[in-house]
Amino acid sequence: MARLNLVIISGLSGSGKSYALKAFEDAGYFCIDNLPPALLPTFVDLCDQQHNEIAKVALGIDIRERVFFSDLVGILERVKTLGHSVQLLFLEAREEVLIRRFSESRRPHPLLPHLPVLEGVRFEKERLTELRRHADRIIDTSDLTVHELGELLAKEFQRESSERRLTISLLTFGYKFGVPYDIDLLFDVRFLKNPFFVPELKPLPGNDPQVRHFVLADPDARTFIDHVEKLLKFLLPLFQRERRSYLTIAIGCTGGRHRSVAIASHLCESLTTLGYEAGLKHRDIDKT
């Protein structure tokens, strides 16, 4: 039986549990949010059956479903007796900070949604007193930004993943087919000379050498690429500092077939030369 590294993330609503779970996910942990505690032994058995494919797991467990985990501590002890590593991480924050966070998000407290937030906070703290007592690590997030929380968790729980690289995806698209929604940076290259209006180039895609030469020979294209490369050289280390794992850069032209493809292909090669893991996807290259 493989030894599972299991981290349970719990604590007060508004203390940053979702951000913490995302930090573990970025570090390569298999993550599940709000797993009913009664299903934990079954879940561990399923992980065992995967033959080392799932070795690191982070589970978010909280009080949202009202039927709370009165026997969670006992369940965790049973998992430990099977030889697995289990750590209980408890997040909390000061009352005034939690109230401010709920006010900023305009959400009611999940336990007492029809009462003032302070009553919900104090009720939850009382319900979680016993669980907090059994925590392996308690983190007060009152004075931490989400990025500082991620850094703290990386130091304490994810040392083996601290050297991970930023993975960059370049996505080309055509504006006439709609702008992609799941992107981080977007560049519009519709100002460049369009091969669509050159009869011998129109039927060819942007990764064809003739089309690529036409696009990149445009002085405006060369200037644009130079500015974008300088911008990325500045931005990418900052994204890495914030412990970003993935970055999607979209390049758009009218149809997503010629100019965006040529520009993105060139940028992908440049980023690879700089040592980044860069992938390339052409969403609309075959559309007409």
Q: Give the mean model confidence (pLDDT) for residues 102-124.
A: 89
The single-letter DSSP state of residue 217 is T
Token output for 198: 């050159």
Q: Rounded CA gap, 43 and 58, in Å?
A: 12
Q: Which pLDDT score, from 0 to 100, does residue 83 have?
A: 84
Sign of CA dihedral 134, 135, 136, 139: negative
- Rg (C-alpha) for the chain, rounded Å, is 25
User: What are the tens digits of pLDDT across the range 243-259?
Assistant: 677 789 999 999 999 99
User: pLDDT tens, 85-96?
Assistant: 889 999 999 999
User: Among residues of the chain, what percentage have pLDDT more than 90?
Assistant: 53
For residue 283, the model assigns a pLDDT of 92
- Alpha-carbon gap, residue 73 to 67, rounded angstroms: 15
3 state DSSP class of 104:
helix
> What average pLDDT score do residues 10-20 get?
93
pLDDT at 158: 59
Residues contacting residue 245 through CB under 8 Å, at least 6 positions apart: 26, 27, 164, 166, 167
Q: Please state the φ and ψ torsions of residue 216, each to the nearest 5 degrees.
A: -75, -15
Residue written as token pair 């006010």 = 103
The residue type of 44 is V
What end-to-end distance do the CA atoms of the chain give, in Å? 54
- CA 212/CA 229 separation, integer angstroms: 18
Ordered structural domains, the chain, with CATH: 5-161 (3.40.50.300), 167-282 (no CATH)
Are the C-beta atoms of residues 275 and 162 closer than 8 Å to each other? Answer: no
Model pTM? 0.56
- Give the DSSP H or E segment for 120: helix 117-127
Average pLDDT, the chain: 88
- d(CA 38, CA 61) in angstroms, rounded, equals 11
Contact 166, 240 (CB under 8 A): yes
Q: Are 89 and 23 in contact (CB under 8 A)?
A: no
User: How far, CA to CA in Å, does 101 sit from each of 94, 108, 242?
Assistant: 11, 10, 21
pLDDT in tens, 151-195: 788 777 755 444 556 789 999 999 999 998 778 999 999 999 999
Q: Which amino acid is located at 220 in the chain?
A: D
Contact call for residues 23 and 156 (beta carbons, < 8 A): no
* HSE, side-chain direction, 13 A CA sphere, residue 113: 6
